[in-house]
Chain A
Amino acid sequence: MIIENYQHKMAAHCESGSITSLLNYAGMKITEPMVFGISSGIFFGYFHAMKSFAFPTFIVRNKPGQMRKNIEKRTGVKFYTKEFKNQLKGQQALDLLISKGIPSAAQVDFFYLDYVPSWERVHLNVHFIVVIGKDGDVYKVSDSYFPHLVDLPADSMNKGRFAQGNMSPKGFMFYPGFVPESFNYEKAIRRGIKKACFNMLSIPIPFLGIKGIRLFAKKITDWPSIARDTEHLSHEVMKINILLEDQGTGGAGFRFMYATFLQQASEIIHKPELKDLARELMEIGDGWREFSLFAAKLGKNRDLGPEKFQHLSNLLYQRAEKEEDFFKRLSKTIK
């Protein structure tokens, strides 16, 4: 069975894309940038030494799951959510939803999705897909990162949904149980922006927000001493580009999508200053892209001397300064 009237659409990011898609299906007209902005998706965090990561890494969005929770708080939507200890019960619940014609989002480990090309496969327990059908033992999946609907065997779906480890999915799934006819856009947008500014400027943790960008700038010069060898270092440096551009960010580590949100918000709440700030953030994003393209080129050429890492560090310090100034002014504008 396939839920026929579900419209698959690619999106920049899996969580904001799944939420947008499910809300659109439920009748709420909302764009992905608006979901991302209202839910304060924009963020930065640098993790230099964490037991779960084999090499230092960074994030450019808020905590997985937080977008859904923030959308609930700010729009009045109520999501039905469920986790499972038992794999069979988790599968039965998903199948039951399909039989009732309810598309639902499922959290999975990206690594076990057969339709993902080998070069993209990484162990990442926080990928979201929307399950819209099942034919025999094969699920029909709407994955925001793919242009068309894809097939996923039940065995792989179960491996993905019940993978263990850091942020394990535990069969988690959700769908909108209640969608209001309307909500106060202005209030939701303002709350979303305020929280994003707080996250970027004021969280008192040294590796999060602007502080995180500065820590990244400081620590990236240590990377050569952490890598196994030149090829490993090259791989990790090129991953900067993947994390900023390729792994579902809409470009420049979500900065382009957030700029789009600000432009849309400016029209909705009649605040032209937001349009100017959107333009500024687009330019800041261009700088992030310049940084990520430079990193990719260094990695490809194995041009990994200390002066190159110093240059990467300088580019990051510049991003930190620009973003600090930007979010301070955004915060004042929205007060």
Chain B
Amino acid sequence: MKEKDVLAEFPEQQVIVYIEKEDGTYDAIQTGSFISANYIDDFFLKRKNLEKALQEKIEKREINAIGYYMIYEDLTISELAARMGLMKWTVRKHLRPDGFGKISEAALKKYSMVFNVASEEIVSRQSGNRK
């Protein structure tokens, strides 16, 4: 791979790529991320659509806010249970559309830590009062 074939303009995300130089030796260069430079808008569009689709599922009572963040952050029930330090069946119970109200304050706080969002945000997402 030659240098000219990997260069991409994206100052917000730099990567190191190993390339073949003019003299035939290989070395590292710093460049912008190719995929972010070319497709970042598509990524944000998909995230927005996913947010909307998941919020609609909450409103239709197909999932609750915990399920929203689990899917949004690409976690599985197993992984979420491990991160919460809970049994899988407990997390399954929390994930039921009607299970949200049964989640203790402490568990909600832990979920908020795992998802890295405020507890209030999870609650408002569940109630559909998000601004």
Contact residues of A with B, CB < 8 Å? 10-12, 32-33, 51-55, 111-112, 117, 119-120, 122-123, 144-147, 159, 163-166, 168, 229, 231-232, 234-235, 238, 241-242, 245-246, 248, 250-252, 256-257, 259-260, 263, 278, 282, 285-286, 289, 293, 296, 299-300
Bound-state Cα–Cα, A330 to B88, Å: 46
Minimum Cβ distance to chain A for residue B119 (Å): 15
Name the interface residues of B38-70: CB closer than 8 Å to any CB of A: 38-40, 42-44, 46, 49-50, 53
Inter-chain contacts of A11 with B (CB < 8 A): 16, 28
Q: A120-B13, A147-B30 are in contact. Are A165 and B44 (CB under 8 A)?
A: no
Inter-chain contacts of B71 with A (CB < 8 A): 54
Q: A122-B74, A164-B82, A166-B82 are in contact. Are A231 and B50 (CB under 8 A)?
A: yes
Inter-chain contacts of A163 with B (CB < 8 A): 83, 114
Q: Known contacts A119-B43, A145-B15; can you find 18 more A-B pairs with CB under 8 A?
A: A52-B79, A54-B75, A54-B76, A111-B116, A146-B14, A231-B50, A238-B42, A245-B17, A245-B35, A246-B15, A250-B17, A250-B28, A260-B18, A263-B26, A296-B38, A296-B39, A299-B39, A300-B42
- Binary interface profile of B, 84-106, with partner A (CB < 8 Å = 1, else 0)? 11000000000000000000000
Bound-state Cα–Cα, A299 to B40, Å: 12
Q: Are A289 and B1 in contact (CB under 8 A)?
A: yes
Bound-state Cα–Cα, A58 to B30, Å: 25
Q: Is B9 located at the chain interface by the 8 A CB criterion?
A: no
Q: Is B27 located at the chain interface by the 8 A CB criterion?
A: yes
Q: Are B79 and A166 in contact (CB under 8 A)?
A: yes
Inter-chain contacts of A238 with B (CB < 8 A): 35, 39, 42-43
Inter-chain contacts of A146 with B (CB < 8 A): 14
Bound-state Cα–Cα, A112 to B83, Å: 13
Bound-state Cα–Cα, A299 to B33, Å: 17
Q: Are B26 and A235 in contact (CB under 8 A)?
A: no
Q: Are A246 and B116 in contact (CB under 8 A)?
A: no
Q: Are B17 and A256 in contact (CB under 8 A)?
A: yes
Inter-chain contacts of B107 with A (CB < 8 A): none
- Binary interface profile of B, 1-34, with partner A (CB < 8 Å = 1, else 0)? 1000010000011111111100001111010011
- Most chain-B CB neighbours within 10 Å: which of A51, A144, A252, A259? A51
Which residue of chain A is the closest to B26 with respect to CB atoms?
Answer: A260
Q: Are B46 and A123 in contact (CB under 8 A)?
A: no
Q: Are A164 and B40 in contact (CB under 8 A)?
A: no
Inter-chain contacts of B74 with A (CB < 8 A): 54-55, 122-123
Q: Is B113 located at the chain interface by the 8 A CB criterion?
A: yes
Q: Is B78 located at the chain interface by the 8 A CB criterion?
A: yes
Inter-chain contacts of A248 with B (CB < 8 A): 15
Minimum Cβ distance to chain B for residue A305 (Å): 18
Inter-chain contacts of A145 with B (CB < 8 A): 14-15
Q: Are B15 and A282 in contact (CB under 8 A)?
A: no
What DSSP secondary structure best describes chain A's contact surface?
helix
**Which of these, A52, A263, A300, contacts B78 with CB under 8 Å?**
A52
Q: Are B44 and A119 in contact (CB under 8 A)?
A: yes
Minimum Cβ distance to chain A for residue B25 (Å): 7
Q: Are A256 and B46 in contact (CB under 8 A)?
A: no
**Which of these, B16, B25, B35, B53, contacts A263 with CB under 8 Å?**
B25
**Which of these, A54, A159, A252, A282, contacts B20 with CB under 8 Å?**
A282
Bound-state Cα–Cα, A289 to B6, Å: 10
Minimum Cβ distance to chain B for residue A126 (Å): 14
Inter-chain contacts of A12 with B (CB < 8 A): 15-18, 28
Bound-state Cα–Cα, A229 to B17, Å: 33
Q: A241-B35, A245-B34 are in contact. Are A159 and B113 (CB under 8 A)?
A: yes
Bound-state Cα–Cα, A206 to B83, Å: 29
Q: Are B36 and A246 in contact (CB under 8 A)?
A: yes
Which residue of chain A is the closest to B77 with respect to CB atoms?
Answer: A51
**Which of these, A117, A235, A263, contacts B12 with CB under 8 Å?**
A117
**Which of these, B1, B28, B49, B84, contacts A231 with CB under 8 Å?**
B49
What are 21 residue pairs bridging A and B, where the CB atoms are less than 8 Å apart in the complex?
A: A10-B14, A10-B16, A12-B28, A33-B18, A33-B26, A51-B78, A119-B40, A119-B43, A123-B83, A146-B14, A159-B116, A163-B114, A165-B82, A234-B42, A245-B34, A251-B1, A256-B1, A296-B38, A299-B39, A300-B38, A300-B39
Q: Are A246 and B33 in contact (CB under 8 A)?
A: yes
